[in-house]
Structure 1
Amino acid sequence: RVRFRDPAGATRTGEWTDAIECDGRSYDPAAVEVLPPCEPTKVVCVGRNYVAHADERGADVPDRPLLFLKPPNAVAGHGATVTLPTGVAGNRIEHEVELGAVVGERCRDVDPAEATGVLAGYTVVNDLSNRDDQRRETNWVRGKAFDGAAPMGPVLATPEEVPDDATVECRVDGEIRQRASREQMVFSVPELVSEVSRFLTLEPGDVIATGTPEGVGPVKDGDRLELTVDGVGTLQHTVRA
């Protein structure tokens, strides 16, 4: 499922194959604005959920999911150009490709065995991180919550379309930077949904970004990013300083 704004400015939902199909019409993807696949009230992110990523950060693997939030202003869509924040200490913004679990119904205290049932599906998320400011503060507002810090898309895939061993990959200007299987996650999607819902009521459209694998690295003005999850597709966006 893809959300898009047609040439007349109307917001529509369709299916994206070679073209975008909606209400008996075909749209050229290049002629429409592809919108984020959902409208989250919050994006709940998970830190250090791949052992190799924790190792490259020189940090321990947590004994329970490490959680932080991104607000709605951080959300950007497929094809967006994300303007990096000005005056960043050290000017180091890093990419973090992640599988995003999209909530389909209002829920609280979800049992892990029932967690998949509350999901609308999956998307791709780039947890853009202002690394230098992240290291200088404990609440990570500057580090993680800036405008455009959570590009996501291009579509919402059903849970059945995304295999348990789906590959998660990030390319920057064609160079593979990150590549791993979701099977390598420390905490599974059902465990994450259950843990988050113990503390936060999840609303339809909310996103749980399930953590990034090793290989995070800097992005710079003009870079083109391609972030892929098997079964979802490839989220593309650029950055500018």
Structure 2
Amino acid sequence: MKLCTIHWRESTAAARVEGDHVVVLEEHADVGALLRAGDVEATAEVDGPTIALDEVRFAPVVLAPSKIVCVGLNYRAHILEMKRDLPEYPVLFAKFPDTLAAAGEDLPLPPESPEIDWEGELAIVIGTAVRRADAGQAAAAIAGYTIANDVSMRDWQFRTREWLQGKVWERSTPLGPVLATADEIPSDARMRTVVDGVLKQNGDIHDLVHGPVDLVRYISTVTTLRPGDVILTGTPGGVGHAREPQEYLASGSVVEVTIDGIGTLVNRFVAEEP
């Protein structure tokens, strides 16, 4: 099953993707609300208004998660390019809900940072509340997966040893276009990030030091994960900051992040007025 959140009648609504169209699930304001209601499986049979997929205006898959937990240095290839050691434990940081943006949306390049980088990522969406999960509970708590671009202001990120200030700029984390359940994603799925038509990242989504189940287990030890919460699992090699010479986004840049079985997250970046 694939679900999404769309703009609908002056507001937003969850929707189910059916081939070349979506079925609007009007009772739920977004996928997060649908997950909190606990009736995801039942939506497979729900009828509603339909819209052609190419006419849909997406919103972030989840509008207001209680938590957005991010994992740094989790792909082996990326760890090596950043000249770091493999971490024994997940490297965690957090984002705020106002960092989220939608697939297809123009995103701002703030004038305060000239070093804005791309990071295509597989994102986990939590479907049921879980605390101190074992492996089985962690796997059952995962509603599905979506795509994120953890746009990073590198000069701000590395001002201090803590990364937060480079990772929480408003509307810097597009999330979407859809949530796909695990059965939609092939076992050999890869993630590819294309910037202005040039392939920059091409990684196996299973090249993780800490996989999805391990991350849910670890994070839920610390805090309760709730329906609609999001975990960004890290980025593979190929980010602009690690290149020689270094590369960053410019006004007009278009970033496309594709994960097999989920789809493609596309955003154009434009200079933001101070």
TM-score, normalised with respect to structure 1: 0.93
Query: Structure 1: where are the runs of 5+ without partners?
Result: none
Q: Deviations over 1:28-73 (max 9, x none)?
A: 3454420111131221111111111011111111111101101101
2:81 aligned partner: 56
Q: Quote the Cα distance in structure 2 between the aligned partners of 1:127 and 1:36.
A: 14
Number of matched pairs: 238
2:112 aligned partner: 87
2:197 aligned partner: 174
> Which residues in structure 2 correspond to 1:65-214 (within 5 Å)?
65-88=90-113, 91-214=114-237
The one of 4, 7, 15 equivalent to 2:6 is: 4
Contact 1:98 1:125 in 2 (8 A): yes
1:33 aligned partner: 57
Q: Secondary structure at the match of 1:219?
A: coil
Q: Secondary structure at the match of 2:129?
A: coil
Q: Which has the larger Rg?
A: 2
1:132 shift after superposition = 1.1
Q: Quote the Cα distance in structure 2 between the aligned partners of 1:175 and 1:190.
A: 32
Q: Deviations over 1:157-206 (max 9, x none)?
A: 11221234321111112211101111211111111111111112111111
Counterpart residue identity of residue 90, structure 2: P
Q: Deviations over 1:112-131 (max 9, x none)?
A: 23212001110001111111
Q: Quote the Cα distance in structure 2 between the aligned partners of 1:33 and 1:93.
A: 26
TM-score, normalised with respect to structure 2: 0.82
2:269 aligned partner: 239
Query: Structure 2: where are the runs of 5+ without partners?
Result: 25-46, 241-247
Percent identical pairs in the alignment equals: 39
1:3 shift after superposition = 1.1
Q: Moved runs in structure 1, 4+ residues, more than 6 A?
A: none
Counterpart residue identity of residue 25, structure 1: P
Q: State the superposition RMSD in angstroms.
A: 1.5
Contact 1:164 1:182 in 2 (8 A): no
1:223 aligned partner: 253
Of 98-107 and 25-34, the range deviating more from structure 2: 25-34
Contact 1:101 1:119 in 2 (8 A): yes
Counterpart residue identity of residue 235, structure 1: L
Contact 1:2 1:14 in 2 (8 A): yes
